[in-house]
Amino acid sequence: MNSNTLDNERNHLASLLEAIQRCVFFLNGSAQKLTWPMQAEEISDRKQDIALFEPMAAMNERFSKLQDTLGAAMRHAALLAGEPVDSFLKVLSFYEKCDVIESIERWQLYRTVRNLAAHDYETDHAVIADHFNTLHELLPALYTDAEKFMKYCQQTLHITPKSLDFEHDFFMIIKDMRS
């Protein structure tokens, strides 16, 4: 890799880090528009209420986007760190050993929940409520993984988000989640 290529790769990771912060910001905003825990009865009573279903759809989309973006950034950072990236399982194993993610199993749970949202068109209101409650319960862990990954990139690779536009909000969301 010549220095120009390396700079491009580092800049790409910086852009992905900014995107992660942006994803957390907007996902958190969508989650705040909903009442937790979600109840099947409320969903049933409001089954034609756009004001309810728009933030639900946004939450699904933004959870998926955060998980996808974090995964892409993790692979890219591992590549820059000289780690094997030929399989994502190796990438996850690396970050589990570095204590960036709690476990491969939890990452796979994020992926499973994300895939169910993307491919299942459920009409049972109890199942819908359960899905969103599960998403909501996973947010603190996913946000923590994002925060730990940000710190890894800063401390190990000396790469930070491309801009600071979402940084303050990102860390406030993390802080509020812990209180």
H helices of 33-124, in order, are: 40-45, 50-80, 88-97, 104-119
Other Cβ atoms within 10 Å of 86 Cβ, number: 7
| Predicted structure pTM score | 0.94
Number of domains, the chain: 1
pLDDT tens sequence across 80-116: 999 999 999 999 999 999 999 999 999 999 999 988 7
Query: Domain span at residue 83?
Result: 3-178
pLDDT of amino acid 1 = 56
Identify the CA nearest to 171 among candidates 144, 141, 138, 136.
144
Q: Based on C-alpha coordinates, what's the Rg of the chain? A: 17
From residue 147, alpha-carbon distances to 3, 116, 155 in Å are 28, 25, 12
